[in-house]
């Protein structure tokens, strides 16, 4: 890309004074990544302040710097002062890469739970429609010819704009992306032009960052209050925060609900451990649903995917086939079966709301002569007050359960376990210091018709301890066990 400093900042109202036409080779948010000719944007983070690293950026060859106006002394390169460097980074990145989202049909999905499942369903439908589609989110970048690479739910503004440019140049037509509340609050998607936004639900999470549920809601709401009339908002009207969003959205709204007659709803539906079957009413249309996904919450995810693709004008049979073709959502209610009839369900659930949805669903589907066993843990350095609540939910539904590590990070695992135990009133559990040992024990004790629910890690391939990601996978242990018992 070829650009000059004055071109990149011309749309930033807060930029003061005459800006020179300094050539810019690249844009960087991290001083250590700066190379000669790059523009360095000093962002104030939650732990460190990028302004403190301006000397390092200059030593590495930065040709210009964007700051928040803080006194950083006299610099040997042009300094552009703005009111919000994060917001400036979004605009500058979009300008540098030629506003690629204008060349793509972009669908943004936000909410506490269901983002990945909804994104996967929509992507499956678009593939069935013959659209060259990329999926971005917690599973990484799922796009033919592009490296998957795990990242944040929503990557930083510069890398996101670069990826969108690469996708547009590679003839992708559609992008389905998860949008986190952090990303919205930090302006990472401020200059992505969304054609469609989807709201799944809202429950307590990330309150260590946002502070209150109201602030958390307002962060999510920004995705819907800045939409043009040409866009469409797909909103869960069964959620209390969804009801509020319907009133706030600046774009036309399509409502979906699994429980009430809405714009998109199930006319009839059956759900069991084999999947979800029924008929969805969508205006004047009816869509036959035959999905291998399980769980009442997946009814909501299916409805949101249907609402999105109906609004896009896709044929009903294409939508039906796309949902049928989506056999699994990686790490979300994935099913495995042993030869003696026991089943294992793996889910990424790591919030009280997700626990309630997963556990209540499976509890109601377990055969009368079987029992539900649960293996779980709570992450370290995360919302500690959730731990006793999650323990209590597991105790409510499970006949027996195992408490194990789940990314303790920099926190003491014994401290995490003590927090969980404060929510318990029974002794129907066993604590393990090693998650792999606990999982192998649970698998070997399974009997016919039992269901083992493994929560928290999904398809993660590591255990994060003291800043180190140690190789570990629930899925690998389960697949090896099933292979050995089935051989």
Cα 162 to its chain centre, rounded Å, is 20
Burial class (CB in 10 A: 0-12, 13-18, 19+), 211: exposed
Question: Do the Cβ atoms of 438 and 409 come closer than 8 Å?
Answer: no
| 87 inside domain | no
First to last CA, the chain: 55
Q: Which residues of 20-39 are buried (b: 16+ CB within 10 A; e: fewer)?
A: eebebebbbbebeebeeebb
Question: Would strands 79-81 and 105-110 be described as parallel, antiparallel, or unpaired?
Answer: unpaired
Q: Are residues 346 and 321 in the same domain?
A: no
Q: Are residues 124 and 267 in the same domain?
A: yes
What is the value of pTM for the model shown? 0.81
Number of domains the chain contains: 3
| 92 inside domain | no
**Is the torsion defined by CA of 292, 274, 283, 179 positive or negative?**
negative
Nearest-angstrom CA–CA distance, 360 and 357: 6
| 91 inside domain | no
Token pair, residue 434, equals 């090693």
Supply the pLDDT for residue 344: 94
Nearest-angstrom CA–CA distance, 417 and 45: 31
Per-residue confidence in pLDDT tens, the chain, 487 aa:
789 999 999 888 655 568 899 999 999 999 999 999 999 999 987 778 999 999 999 999 999 999 998 888 889 999 999 999 999 999 999 999 999 999 999 999 999 888 999 999 999 999 999 999 999 998 889 999 887 765 556 789 999 999 999 999 999 999 999 999 889 889 999 999 999 999 999 876 655 565 688 888 888 999 999 999 999 999 999 999 999 999 999 999 999 998 778 999 999 999 887 889 999 999 899 999 999 998 888 999 999 999 999 999 999 999 999 999 998 888 888 889 888 889 999 998 888 988 998 999 888 878 666 799 999 999 999 889 999 999 999 999 999 999 999 999 999 999 999 999 999 999 999 999 999 999 999 999 999 889 999 999 998 999 999 989 999 999 999 999 998 876 5
Q: Are residues 253 and 374 in the same domain?
A: no
Instruction: Tell me how many degrees the CA angle 114-172-311 measures, rounded to the nearest 5.
Output: 50
Boundary of a domain, candidates 297, 325, 353: 325
Q: Are residues 277 and 207 in the same domain?
A: yes
Closest Cα to residue 192, out of 218, 217, 167? Answer: 167
Nearest-angstrom CA–CA distance, 111 and 74: 44
Q: Are residues 318 and 464 in the same domain?
A: no
Nearest-angstrom CA–CA distance, 277 and 347: 21
Nearest-angstrom CA–CA distance, 405 and 482: 23
Q: Are residues 430 and 291 in the same domain?
A: no
Supply the pLDDT for residue 79: 94
Q: Are residues 302 and 362 in the same domain?
A: no
Cα 438 to its chain centre, rounded Å, is 28
Supply the pLDDT for residue 453: 97
Supply the pLDDT for residue 309: 98
Q: Name the residue with tokens 């919030």.
A: 351
Supply the pLDDT for residue 341: 83
Cβ atoms < 10 Å from Cβ of 145:
9
Nearest-angstrom CA–CA distance, 291 and 97: 39
Q: Are residues 105 and 72 in the same domain?
A: no
Burial class (CB in 10 A: 0-12, 13-18, 19+), 283: exposed
Q: Are residues 398 and 450 in the same domain?
A: yes
Question: Do the Cβ atoms of 151 and 140 come closer than 8 Å?
Answer: yes
Residue 319: DSSP 8-state: H
**Is the torsion defined by CA of 14, 16, 18, 21 positive or negative?**
negative
Token pair, residue 272, equals 């069991």
| 62 inside domain | yes
Question: Do the Cβ atoms of 372 and 358 come closer than 8 Å?
Answer: no
Nearest-angstrom CA–CA distance, 372 and 394: 10
Question: Do the Cβ atoms of 109 and 177 come closer than 8 Å?
Answer: yes
Q: Which residues of 102-131 are buried (b: 16+ CB within 10 A; e: fewer)?
A: ebbbbbbbbbbbbbbbbbbbbbbbbbbbeb
Q: Are residues 358 and 440 in the same domain?
A: yes
Boundary of a domain, candidates 26, 50, 82: 82
Locate the DSSP E strands across 364-426: 372-376, 400-403
Q: Are residues 144 and 251 in the same domain?
A: yes
Nearest-angstrom CA–CA distance, 78 and 419: 52
Supply the pLDDT for residue 246: 95
Question: Do the Cβ atoms of 141 and 148 come closer than 8 Å?
Answer: yes
Closest Cα to residue 24, out of 45, 41, 8? Answer: 8
Boundary of a domain, candidates 82, 114, 141: 82
Residue 258: DSSP 8-state: S
Q: Are residues 370 and 316 in the same domain?
A: no
The domain of 44 spans 3-82
Supply the pLDDT for residue 78: 94
Nearest-angstrom CA–CA distance, 465 and 380: 9
Nearest-angstrom CA–CA distance, 452 and 168: 43
Question: Would strands 39-41 and 27-28 be described as parallel, antiparallel, or unpaired?
Answer: parallel
């Amino acid at each position: 890309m070829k650009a000059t400093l004055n071109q990149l900042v011309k749309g930033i109202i807060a930029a003061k004074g005459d800006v020179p036409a300094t050539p810019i080779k690249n844009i960087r948010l991290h001083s250590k990544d700066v190379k000669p000719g790059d523009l360095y944007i000093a962002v104030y983070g939650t732990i460190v302040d990028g302004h403190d690293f301006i000397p390092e950026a200059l030593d590495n060859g930065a040709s210009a710097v964007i700051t928040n106006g803080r006194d950083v002394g006299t610099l040997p390169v042009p300094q552009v002062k703005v009111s919000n460097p994060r917001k400036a980074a979004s605009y500058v990145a979009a300008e540098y890469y030629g506003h690629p989202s204008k060349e793509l049909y972009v669908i943004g999905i936000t909410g506490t739970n269901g983002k990945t499942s909804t994104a996967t369903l929509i992507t499956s439908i678009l593939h069935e429609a013959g659209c060259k589609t990329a999926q971005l989110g917690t599973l990484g970048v799922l796009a033919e010819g592009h490296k998957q690479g795990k990242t944040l739910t929503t990557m930083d503004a510069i890398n996101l704009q670069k990826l969108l440019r690469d996708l547009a140049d590679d003839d992708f037509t559609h992008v389905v992306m998860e949008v986190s509340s952090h990303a919205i609050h930090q302006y990472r998607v401020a200059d992505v032009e969304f054609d469609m936004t989807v709201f799944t639900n809202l429950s307590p999470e990330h309150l260590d960052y946002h502070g209150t549920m109201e602030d958390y809601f307002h962060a999510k709401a920004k995705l819907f209050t800045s939409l043009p009339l040409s866009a469409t908002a797909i909103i869960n009207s069964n959620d209390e925060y969804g009801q509020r969003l319907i009133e706030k959205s600046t774009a036309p709204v399509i409502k979906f609900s699994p429980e009430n007659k809405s714009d998109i709803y199930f006319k009839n539906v059956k759900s069991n451990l084999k999947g979800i079957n029924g008929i969805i009413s969508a205006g004047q249309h009816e869509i036959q649903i035959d999905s291998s996904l399980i769980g009442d919450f997946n009814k909501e995810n299916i409805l949101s995917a249907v609402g999105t693709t109906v609004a896009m004008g896709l044929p009903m049979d294409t939508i039906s086939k796309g949902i049928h073709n989506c056999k699994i959502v990686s790490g979300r209610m994935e099913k495995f079966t042993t030869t003696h009839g026991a089943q294992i369900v793996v889910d990424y659930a790591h919030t009280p709301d997700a626990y309630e949805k997963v556990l209540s669903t499976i509890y109601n589907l377990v055969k009368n002569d079987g029992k539900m066993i649960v293996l779980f843990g709570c992450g370290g350095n995360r919302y500690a007050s959730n731990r006793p609540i999650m323990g209590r939910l597991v105790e409510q539904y499970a006949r027996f359960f195992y408490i194990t590590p789940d990314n303790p990070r920099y926190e003491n695992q014994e401290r995490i376990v003590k927090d969980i135990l404060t929510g318990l009133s029974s002794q129907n559990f066993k604590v393990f210091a090693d998650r792999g040992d606990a999982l192998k024990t649970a698998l070997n004790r399974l009997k016919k018709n039992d269901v083992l629910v493994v929560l928290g890690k999904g398809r993660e391939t590591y255990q994060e301890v003291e800043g180190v990601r140690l190789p570990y996978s629930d899925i690998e242990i389960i697949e090896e066990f099933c292979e050995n018992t089935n051989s």
